Chain A
Amino acid sequence: MIERIEKATDIRHWLGDMEADHYYYSAGIAGEKFFVALRDDGKILGTHCAACNLTYVPPRIYCEHCFAELTEYRDVGKRGCVVAFTVAHYNKSGERLDPPEIFALISLGPGMTPLLHKLGEVEPANVCVGLEVEAVLKPKKDREGKITDILYFRPAKLL
């Protein structure tokens, strides 16, 4: 009685789409500070919760564990290490990526929440957990106050 249908458009249907034209997402109070510092000063900020000894990167106005209000914004620098990574061979539309793109969670220091971004100037075979990396920013005139103001993280030069 019930046949298997492979495509929704094989049976009588009605076509439509999402009515919203687009969405405007404000960065919020903490986000505003983060993106202005990134765009104007080339700095990456976090907020520190003294009670939990945890620094949120990007910053938040509250600690999600103890609910304290966080007002201490810190410059967390631009060096860190890879906590986890993945090599993507297909983009979100299912098309092949050549060369593949590397996404990683990067911790900018002990006690900091990792930041999601891309890795560049490195071959996938040379990426490993623990790899020391540094942020590469767009030149100031090209920065817009978006996460893409950071181009990618690359293996850090030995100090």
Chain B
Amino acid sequence: MNKKNEFGPPLHPRGTRLEAEDLEKIAHVRAKPNAKYAWAAGTAMSRFLEELKNGRIIGRKCARCDRVLVPPRMFCERCFGPTTEWVYLPGTGVVETFSISYIDQSANRIKEPILVGTVAFDGAPPHCGIMHYFGEVSPEELKIGMPVEPVWKPKEERVGSVLDIKYFRPRKKT
């Protein structure tokens, strides 16, 4: 051990940069992962998915905190006690936030943007809801705070998935 001397910011850092075309030229191995998953939905989400098949949104109430959790959970993460009853929600809400995406899941560019965001449900605490698509609205019209309603797939096409809702659209003024 010796008393160290003056040094600068990382001097002569190491690392061999590669270009994409170098990848095939150097020693390497390519391997495919072989894992498939069956994620258990759990008690709360199973009911949530079941109700989506029925064309309804369900939440779970925590009586101690006096709030409805959606997506539903069997425990409240705030007071850490069990939630107490099932509560149906109207399914309407407002746009909490949104994004206009020109890239898809694999980072490929797409021409027609995907409109996606989160919906804060009526009947739930502020800001609480789920992520979903927006439709029947243009990117310019989409605004935070806009009232929206779900558009469901026809009954025979619903399977018990968040995709049983096609998208949320601006709520028509009656």
Contact = CB atoms under 8 A, between A and B. Distances in A.
A32 B40 contact: no
Interface string A26-39: 11010110111000
B30 A14 contact: no
Contacts, number: 71
Interface residues of A, number: 26
Contact of B37 (A11, A17, A27, A34): A17
Interface stretch (B20-28, B56-64, B148-156): B20-28
Which of A8, A12, A17, A31 has its CB near the most chain B CB atoms (within 10 A)?
A12
Given A8-B40, A23-B30, 9 more contacts: A8-B38, A12-B49, A14-B39, A21-B32, A24-B29, A26-B27, A27-B26, A27-B27, A27-B28
B38 A15 contact: yes
A22 B28 contact: no
Given A24-B30, A25-B31, A14 B36 contact: no
A18 to B, nearest CB: 4
**From DSSP, what is the main secondary structure of chain A's interface residues?**
mixed
A103 to B, nearest CB: 18
Interface string B31-65: 11101111111000110011000000000000000
Contact of A25 (B29, B33, B36): B29
A13 B38 contact: yes
Contacts of B160: 12
A13 B16 CA distance: 45
Nearest to B105: A19
12 contacts: A11-B46, A12-B45, A12-B49, A15-B37, A18-B35, A18-B36, A21-B32, A23-B33, A26-B26, A26-B27, A31-B27, A34-B27
Contacts of A21: 32
B28 A26 contact: yes
A13 B40 contact: yes
A29 B40 contact: no
A15 B37 CA distance: 6
Given A8-B38, A17-B36, A18-B33, A36 B27 contact: yes
Contact of B26 (A11, A18, A32): A32
Contacts of B49: 12
A146 interface: yes
Given A26-B26, A32-B26, A14 B31 contact: no
- Give the residue among A18, A29, A36 with the most B Cβ atoms within 10 A: A18
B29 A27 contact: yes
A145 B23 CA distance: 14
Interface string B147-170: 000000000000011000000000
